[in-house]
Structure 1
Amino acid sequence: MKSILYTLAFALILLGCRSKEKKAEEQQDTVTSVWEADFFDDFDTFNPENWQDQRIWVNNELQCYVPDGEYGTREVSDGTLKIKVVNVGEKLPCDNLDKHGTKQADTQYMAGRICSKNRKEFVKGKWTARLRLHGNGQPSMFPAWWLLGAQNNESPVQEPDENVCWPLTGSGEIDIFEHHGDVKKDHFTTGAIKSQGECDKGDWWSYRKDFPATLDDFHEYSVEWEGSDLVYRLDGEEVYRNVSEGDNYPEPMFAILNFAKITDNPMTGEWVMEVDWVKHEFRQ
């Protein structure tokens, strides 16, 4: 009997050692593997093979997303993309619809929103954008750099499988950079949206946190899948991690850059999010 117990104990110890060795090998593979870019846009021009305008009304926002850079809302100049909110001084009709077909009200605020949907979509890997804000911290500002699952059922719907409701798998959301001007200057929010298993039900804050940064300066904002974790970095340094959440976002995802206006606070001048480049990488 003792011999059997000793043998069993030895086998358990050996199994534990092998498990630790395997985990160490996986961690070493993650550390030693190299990121290789499979998409890079440095905005010498606006490339329609990479991006399209996304005209949609969400979150009861006050702006109207317009196409083709109307009113100067989307501009490429001097090697950067400028996404803007512009006050045109009078309320104009807006044709943006929400996912239920409700039309946005007339508004004096025109804005830009682009996405890589059905252009550049990737499973996991690493997404990074180098960007800055002009005049950050003004109330109502809501610029964002984020990802959405490629089967999302919101406009533009262009493929038969784009029928999954936010934030279910296939329509998951990861926010790499958001700035809430009503909350605090020189802070950004990052993190994933938790799916609660029902359409239009997500936990907005449990996976997201605020972090300080001088938003008027260019910074690199990224998210990467590291094993089963989602790792968020500012200029290459980890600031936050959604532990064991990466596998909840297995679907191809597309990128979005937009600038919204979210409250009735007065707007001073035009608001600009300037983007130097965007890239996606995979581990080689």
Structure 2
Amino acid sequence: MKQIPTILIIILSLILFSCKDEKKTQNTMQETTDTWEVDFLDEFETFNPENWQDQRIWVNNENHCYVPDGEYGTREVSNGTLKIKVVKIDEKRPCDNFDKHGIQHPDTEYVAGRICSKNRKEFVKGKWTARLKLSSNGEPSMFPAWWLLGAQNNEPPVQEEDENICWPLTGSGEIDIFEHHGDHMKDEFTTGAIVSLGECDKGDWQSKRRNFPATLNEFHEYSVEWEGSDLVYRLDGNEVYRNEGEGDKYPEPMFAILNFAKITDSPMEGEWVMEVDWVKHEFRKS
């Protein structure tokens, strides 16, 4: 068999790599030229039950009780913003929150707000953004969060037949857009995906999440978007972090959660506030 000249092999290789680079460039240009179109926006002129519902659950050994209907001012809308709070009350009260094993939360002197868009506003991929700030940060036990969860999650409230998948399996995956761990942070937030380890309640919290600086007592926009197979995290529109190849692991519709938690026995006085100016979801329009 006649051998192919070396020079011809080199030329063919250059053509092949050129085609690959051109295709990659075209894909990048496509991502760049695509525009975002808003399909959900809540500017919190009022609390809209078509967008949100209270979520009352005991997770992460939280020290407070999630209460409904904004009791004790834990969830209120005023002056065009939503306030989600942890509030210390005068005495311990019974709590009707249960964990996933059916254990009831003990009596507590702390109450808090947690809302979700489950069975209200759920979307596949796209881009989620919230503009928010904290009243203070870096205080022990403080744990506010803005995050996403798969719509088939089997934790309360369970309202549809297909809500039977345990965290963090596909259908119940978790993406954290903004978290603040006051016990060991000051003017920093955490962002990134929770990696499923393939079993119920088995998740890797470390490998795909990172901490970044921000002035938390000033308003900022915190977002996550699907870009190809990546998850891209942005602060005020600027990319701060990227989970490469993780986006395809979240094919399910996802709902949004806003909550303020107290996660240790460290004492607090008064209230902590996460103030939310708006929340929106967008989809990429070619």
TM-score bucket of the superposed structures, by smaller chain:
over 0.9
> 2-side partners of 1:5 and 1:151: how far apart?
57
Write the mapping of 1:94-113 to structure 2, written as runs, cut at 5 A. 94-113=95-114
Which residue in 1 is equivalent to 2:165? 164
Q: Secondary structure of 2:274's partner?
A: strand
> 1-side partners of 2:180 and 2:269: how far apart?
17
> 2-side partners of 1:147 and 1:35: how far apart?
19
**TM-score (normalizing by structure 2):** 0.96
Write the mapping of 1:266-277 to structure 2, written as runs, cut at 5 A. 266-277=267-278
* C-alpha distance after superposition, 1:71-103 (max 9, x if no partner): 110000000000001111211110111112111
Q: Secondary structure of 2:198's partner?
A: strand
Q: Secondary structure of 2:186's partner?
A: coil
| Matched residue count | 284
Write the mapping of 1:185-200 to structure 2, written as runs, cut at 5 A. 185-200=186-201
Write the mapping of 1:1-284 to structure 2, written as runs, cut at 5 A. 1-3=2-4, 11-284=12-285
> 1-side partners of 2:216 and 2:18: how far apart?
47
> 1-side partners of 2:273 and 2:143: how far apart?
11
Q: Secondary structure of 2:21's partner?
A: helix
Letter of the 1:123 counterpart: V
Which ranges in structure 1 are unaligned for 5 or more consecutive residues?
none
The alpha carbon displacement at 1:12 in A equals 4.7
Letter of the 1:244 counterpart: G
> 2-side partners of 1:3 and 1:203: how far apart?
51
The percentage of counterpart residues that share the same residue type is: 75
Single out whichever of 39-48 and 20-29 deviates more from structure 2: 20-29
> 2-side partners of 1:164 and 1:153: how far apart?
5
> 2-side partners of 1:163 and 1:11: how far apart?
53
> 1-side partners of 2:139 and 2:100: how far apart?
29
Q: Secondary structure of 1:2's partner?
A: coil
> 1-side partners of 2:254 and 2:201: how far apart?
18
**TM-score (normalizing by structure 1):** 0.97
The alpha carbon displacement at 1:67 in A equals 0.6
> 2-side partners of 1:7 and 1:179: how far apart?
58
Letter of the 2:61 counterpart: N
Single out whichever of 84-93 and 9-18 deviates more from structure 2: 9-18
> 1-side partners of 2:11 and 2:138: how far apart?
62
Which ranges in structure 2 are unaligned for 5 or more consecutive residues?
none
Aligned-pair Cα RMSD in Å: 1.3
Q: Secondary structure of 2:170's partner?
A: coil
> 2-side partners of 1:6 and 1:150: how far apart?
57
> 2-side partners of 1:232 and 1:200: how far apart?
25
* C-alpha distance after superposition, 1:105-132 (max 9, x if no partner): 1111110000000110011111000000
Q: Secondary structure of 1:198's partner?
A: coil
> 2-side partners of 1:64 and 1:258: how far apart?
12
Single out whichever of 15-24 and 274-283 deviates more from structure 2: 15-24
The alpha carbon displacement at 1:7 in A equals 6.5
The alpha carbon displacement at 1:205 in A equals 1.1
Letter of the 1:237 counterpart: N
The alpha carbon displacement at 1:138 in A equals 1.3
> 2-side partners of 1:164 and 1:15: how far apart?
44
Letter of the 1:29 counterpart: Q
> 1-side partners of 2:266 and 2:4: how far apart?
78
Q: Secondary structure of 1:21's partner?
A: helix
